[in-house]
Amino acid sequence: MKIAVCIKQVPAYSEGNMDEKTGLLIRTGLESIVNIYDLAALETALRIKEQRESCIDVYTMGPESAGQAIMESYALGADRGFLICDRAFAGADVLATSYTLMQAIQSQGTYDLILCGQQTTDGDTGLVSGALAKWLGLPGYGGVKKLDITGNENLRIAQDMGVQVLHWEIKGPCLIAVDRDIYTPRMPSLKLRMKARRKEITTITLQDLEDQDSRHYGLKGSATRVKKIFPPERTRKREVQQPEAKAAAGLILETVMNDQEAR
Amino acid sequence: MDKQLIYPMAEKYQEYLIDESKFSGTADSISFPESEAEISMILKEMKRSDTPITIQGGKTGIVGGAVPLEGHIMNLREMNRMKEFQRQDAANGLITVEAGMSLAKLQEVIARETRKNPLIWPPSPTEGTASIGGILAAAAKGTGAFHYGDTRQYVQAIRLIDGRGKVQYLDRWVQADSYLLDQILGGEGIYGVITEATLILVPDYEEKWGISFFFKELSQTDSFVQGLLAADEECQNNIIAAEYFDKNTIDQIEARKSNMAKIKEIPDVEDGNKHMVYVEIGGSEEEIERTAAILMELAEESDSDAESAWAVSGETEIQKMHAFRHAAAETANLLIEEARRTEPRITKLGTDIPQKHKTLKEAVELYQSDLNSEGIDFCMFGHCRDMHLHVNILPKTYEEYQKGKEMIGVWIKTVQHEEGKIGAEHGIGKLKKKWRDYILSEEEQQQMLELKEVMNPDGIWNKANIFGDE
């Protein structure tokens, strides 16, 4: 089975700083990690590989430093890594990001399964995987929280639709966006981390893509602009009480009962 | 006083009568000063009524040092500001903070101030809520102690209000101050209250890895640790910490980690593994690679599977492993808390004895055999490089508690006989006074009492710590 996993390097924490001119997050100096949802996607791929003979390719889009995310994936067990890196790709929104990912993935042939995280912890739109499925012309399943890889060639998935959970038996090629709770990501292995240092990362630039029109990528190819980033306003008043133990127990009980009634 | 500074004790202040040692006391009043001036006012008030004051920071100590036995509690949680940050050059810096600032906040502030060329304050107690004042009062070192050395060398200056009400500023630049400073640090607040400290920062490593090795047998773990201790100097210099966890500790953490936000995403240790050694290494890329290769070879020679060894890198992931290490102590404390619900006389019963001349196997087997013969539950974790293991005895009854206490006494006496002196890192506080003569030499005690007589003649500050009846 040939599996592509899309991962993104995100800031380990955010100070909410934004470049006023470009509307882009300022990431300089902040520690970067692999998006936790994408680690769940990679873990899903690794679990499939444990059951069925597979090759896992990891794709990430970003500056050269994003290669670190691929090294991390190697330490977890990914086979090949592709860094989609070109100045033309900078500042991309959902539309341009998903288009670039599609072009990059197609430049390496076809896959039986594309795995993505449901969302990222920085942009947080949760839209890239759906848009990527559309560009690739593949069926896309978002919010997948369970995957059964035993049994026949097909995959059985549970897709969380908010009010209901849909159970599907699907076959590739397709795209699955997984919930972060689908699997607990494994810890990176020492042996694989040591080997990762000697593994190659393939860089994909604009020149490697079928569509080389720079107007379709990055800021130029984006349909949206970020106007402002700000922490949500805390509007809900929180009552602080410091009652004696018995009164506190009564208050807690009352709150729980009220809450249940409200539901 | 216009502003109310002193509050009579009430039920809402109950949590200030106990600390992580699970030893609890009593007090008549409490205060939360916001400045040195307020401390002075409170002190004056307490001196007037001859009321002893117990100083509190994060209440994370495990020898009852912050637990009041009577009088007034002065909690410094409101004094948590950064006063000054001085970047001297790329590799050096100083930071001045109030004593109530937590270690976690200090690390956050340092990271923010030194983002381009990261600096760190080396002392690394695993509890992030520990206050800087508390760390200095106990001269606590943490997991990096063997590598970075004594906490005192990372303190440039302190401000302290002594028992006479005198505000002292002691700076290491002045030789006489330097001597005094070293005496006061680790003095458990018996000379006065530290109000602020100027801390010495050093460069952080270019890269850090946290590697967890797993073993099925104690003999395999022992062989790995012996190999680690015998590794060449270059390798030793790149090892920041080496921490051992026994099976009981791992099981206890795993049973409770779903409620621990920082570590709930760490997967379970594979079945069959009974021992874990966490090694943190730091250095340049080449140094890291060399050290990791040596460790990997050692692990394989000791029948540990390097493929299943965890190797994290980057501050966020390393912090997760620190949280895992801290969970070892925290879960043991939780079990003590549970036992106290049926038997309130139980307090934390942990050892703090380095056994430098014993191998890991010898040390672990000694503790195991004594505890197993009495059928008392325990868990064991701690520093491998100076064999400073923390055996946490987990009694269910008062009888088991008493037996455990006796056992610790026997171990302390034996180690003192074999090794000369016990270098306890948790301090003496109120719970280890019985063992004071094994921890401090006669000369050290004499020096402390003499200084106490000068700086805190009425014993108003932390009267019951280190000296006095048990």
Q: Is the pLDDT of residue B276 over 70?
A: yes
CATH 3.30.465.10 placement within chain B: 82-203
The interface residues of chain B toward chain A in range 77-116, judged by CB-CB distance below 8 A, are: 115-116
Instruction: List, for residues A58-101, the tens digit of each pLDDT value.
Output: 999 999 999 999 999 999 999 999 999 999 999 999 999 999 99
Q: Token pair of A2, please?
A: 């040939």
User: For position A21, what pLDDT does the model report?
Assistant: 63
**Token digits of residue B408:** 């610790």
Is it the case that residue B456 has pLDDT exceeding 80?
yes
pLDDT band (50, 70, 90) for residue A31: confident
A192 vs chain B: nearest CA distance in angstroms?
A: 7
Per-residue pLDDT at A42: 98
Mean pLDDT of B172-199: 94
Task: Determine the pLDDT at residue A74.
Answer: 97
Q: Quick one: average pLDDT of B296-304?
A: 96
- At B378 the pLDDT is 97
pTM metric for this prediction: 0.86
Whose CA is closest to B140, among B148, B332, B316?
B148
- Rounded Cα distance between B176 and B224, Å, is 45
Q: pLDDT of B41-85, one tens digit each?
A: 999 999 999 999 999 999 999 899 999 999 999 999 999 999 999
pLDDT value for B61: 92
Q: Do A29 and B116 touch (CB under 8 A)?
A: yes
**For residue B89, what pLDDT is reported?**
87
Does B48 reach chain A within 8 Å, measured CB to CB?
Answer: no
- The architecture (CATH level 2) of B207-419 comes to 3-Layer(aba) Sandwich (3.40)
Helix axis angle, A94-107 relative to A128-136, nearest 10°? Answer: 50
Residues from chain A contacting residue B292 (CB–CB below 8 Å):
190, 193-194
Least Cα distance to B95 among B252, B4, B218, B201 occurs for B201
The pLDDT value given to residue B441:
87
Under the banding of pLDDT at 50, 70 and 90, the label for residue A20 is: low
- On the CB side of B416, how many CA atoms lie within 13 Å of its CA? 17
- Strands A174-178 and B119-120, by their bridges, are unpaired
Domain boundaries B82-203, corresponding CATH code: 3.30.465.10
Mean of pLDDT values over B260-277: 91
Please tell me the distance from the alpha carbon of residue B53 to that of residue B31, in angstroms, as a whole number.
10
Coil, helix or strand at residue B160:
strand
A240–B contact, CB cutoff 8 A:
no
Nearest to B390 by CA among B325, B434, B448: B325
List chain A residues with CB under 8 Å of B286: none
**Average pLDDT in the A22-37 region?**
74
Q: What's the average model confidence in pLDDT over A189-199? A: 94
**Intervals of CATH 3.40.462.10 along chain B:** 207-419
For residue B311, give the nearest of A36, A185, A188 by CB distance.
A188
Q: A103 pLDDT exceeds 90? A: yes
Task: Give residue A244's pLDDT.
Answer: 82
| Domains detected in chain A | 2-216 (3.40.50.620)
What's residue B189's pLDDT?
Answer: 96
Positions of CATH 3.30.43.10 in chain B:
6-75
Q: Is the pLDDT of residue A16 over 60?
A: no
Question: Residue A226: pLDDT above 60?
Answer: yes
Structure confidence at residue B175 (pLDDT): 81
Summarize the confidence of residues B337-342 as an average pLDDT. Answer: 92
Give the percent of chain A with pLDDT over 70. Answer: 89
Cβ-nearest to A187 among B115, B209, B266: B266
Strands (E), B53-166: 53-56, 72-75, 82-89, 92-98, 119-120, 155-162
Provide the terminal-to-terminal Cα distance of chain A, rounded to the nearest Å: 46
Write out the CATH class of domain B6-75.
Answer: alpha beta
